[in-house]
Amino acid sequence: MPLKELAERRTLLHRKSDAQTVLAHALDDQVIGPVAMVSSFGADSVVLLHMLSEIDKSAPVLFVDTEFLFPATLTYQRDVAEQLGLSDVRVIKPSRAALLERDVDGILHHFDPDACCALRKTEPLEQALEGFGGWITGRKRIHGGARQTLPLFEKNARRIKVNPLANWTQPMVADYITKHDLPRHPMVAQGFPSIGCQPCTTAAKANEDPRAGRWRGQAKTECGIHFIDGVMQRRAS
């Protein structure tokens, strides 16, 4: 079955399902094949990670450490994984050889942030996803931009991407975290509703889009790991 048709069928099937049901189906979908969760261990990540821990603690979780992340994120990643009992968290890092060849001084983000994202995030993740038929993300329509029409299942190059929280609102996220007494990323309280790499992330004001602090002042709105109809999304569409 073509991947686009498969994604559309799964989205239709789960149009009234809750996030836990979508997630459980994705993890056990024989047509999609092996599935991994890709998590930034960012502002809202603990919601999906907790759901995953209640379904299958041994499911693979891919965490891309660009080596530019905030120290608080690295600490949070270790603490959350331990607290939830996630036993297969794979820390993905950029290739040493590629860094020496293309960003030996660590300043590529200053003049070509797209190339930096490709080097430190997109390419390492693509390699880590080899062998998987799908991957799970925490993206939501409330993030705005190209995400406003986000489906539950979508074709992503050679794989199916699953977005169980696509229709969730920020109050729903907050309520879930409170209900289950989950730890928040410490930077959320400091005004960071979306947390990426340290050089390219700033705080956002209460009246701004949650992702306003990412690549502030640039047309860039995505790191490049997300595709729409096979086209890499690095800038606002």
116, 117, 197, 223: which one is catalytic?
A: 223
Per residue in 164-205, pLDDT tens? 999 999 999 999 999 999 999 999 999 998 899 999 999 988
Per residue in 36-66, pLDDT tens? 999 999 999 999 999 999 999 999 999 999 9
Given a cut of 90, whether residue 101 has pLDDT beyond it is yes
High-pLDDT (> 70) share of the chain, %: 90
Query: Residue 224's pLDDT is what?
Result: 55
211-218: Cβ within 8 A, 24+ apart: 211/143, 211/144, 211/145, 215/113, 218/113
Mean residue pLDDT of the chain comes to: 90
Is the domain spanning 3-183 CATH 3.40.50.620? The answer is yes
Q: Which residues contact 162 (CB under 8 A, 6 or more apart)?
A: 22, 23, 26, 35, 134, 135, 136, 137, 152, 153
223 included as an active-site residue: yes
Delimit the domains of the chain by residue range: 3-183
Helix/strand/coil for 63: strand
The mean pLDDT value for 115-137 works out to 95
